[in-house]
Each structure stands twice: as structure tokens, then as C-alpha cells.
Amino acid sequence: MGAGVDLLHIIYEMIDLRSFSNLWYWISLAVMWSSASHWILGVPFDMVYRARRRGGQAEQDLEDITRVNVNRMLYIAEVSGPWLVALACFLLSALATLGFVYLLEIAQAVFLLAFPMSVVGLISFLTARRIAREGASGEDLRKRLSFCRLYIQFVGTVSILVTAFWGMYQNLTIGAL
């Protein structure tokens, strides 16, 4: 019986709902932003560097994978865009209400992950639409992807800063009680 209770205690500690004091939350935040700034429109950013340095086949590969991902993103937006926006707005407003009105810390933590990623989704969609509209290729395509990455990194930096300050505030106020 004692081993079972210890196991339950360990599991509870691993998925503690006090997210801002949980190491796993901060690891997931770092991994999320690292991935978001590496995968621009579903294209690994090292392909942009390779295309810039080598040209030729690397440039063609970048243009092909970008074209496929842009077309996919625009198709999804055309077919189910309004429904996705409505669902995202509902979930974000529910998380914000649960987190900041009813003071549920797990909802605050998830909101501070999800809201900036919705901004990243908007930046990605606008970039994809612009690439498709302009038929960007070569240097123009690399420039569009680089600016998209810069905007995503800016959102990530602000998000990490806000999340860190909010997490410290939560930990200090909860710890003071």
C-alpha cells in the first residue's frame, strides 16, 4: 500500500497543476519557442541557409517545400478557416476566463502558451498568403521566410518575458500565502 501511495505522489508531482513552479512547464515553453522559430511555415530554417549558400538544388528544394506548405496552409484556411478561428477564439477566451477571472493556474499557463502561438499562426498565414500572391522565389522567398522568422522570434521573446514575470509573480504570491 505504501509503494502505491508513493507512486501516486510521484505522478501528482510530475503533473502538478501549479504549472509555474513545475520544471516541465518551463521546458515545454523553451521547446515550443525553439521549434516555432526553427520551423517557419513548416520549412526547417536551415534549408534557407543552405539555399543561400549553395543555390541550385538546395534553392529548388526550398522553393518546392515552401510551395507545398503554403498551398496546404492556404487550402486549410479556405476550407475551414472561419471554423478554426471561431474554435481558437472560444478556447482562448475560455482559458483566459478560467485563468484570470477564476484564478485557475493551469488555465493561465496554457493561455500563456496558446495565445502567442495563435499570433504565430496569424503571422504564418499572412506570410503564406503574401508568398503565394507574389509568387516569391529565390532571394525574395528567403527574405519573406527570414522576416517571418524574425517576427516569430520577437513574439517568442515577448511571450517568454511575460510568462516569466507572470510565473514569478504567481510563485511569489502563492509562496507568501
Contact 137, 63 (CB under 8 A): yes
pLDDT of residue 131: 97
pLDDT of residue 13: 65
Contact 102, 51 (CB under 8 A): no
pLDDT of residue 63: 96
State pTM to two decimals: 0.86
d(CA 53, CA 26): 35
Phi, psi angle pair for 124, to nearest 5°: -65, -45
Average pLDDT for the chain:
91
Contact 38, 45 (CB under 8 A): yes
Ranges of residues in the chain whose predicted pLDDT is under 70: 1-5, 11-17, 175-177
Q: How many CB atoms lie within 10 A of CB 129?
A: 14
**Domain limits, the chain:** 18-176
pLDDT in tens, 20-37: 888 889 999 999 999 999
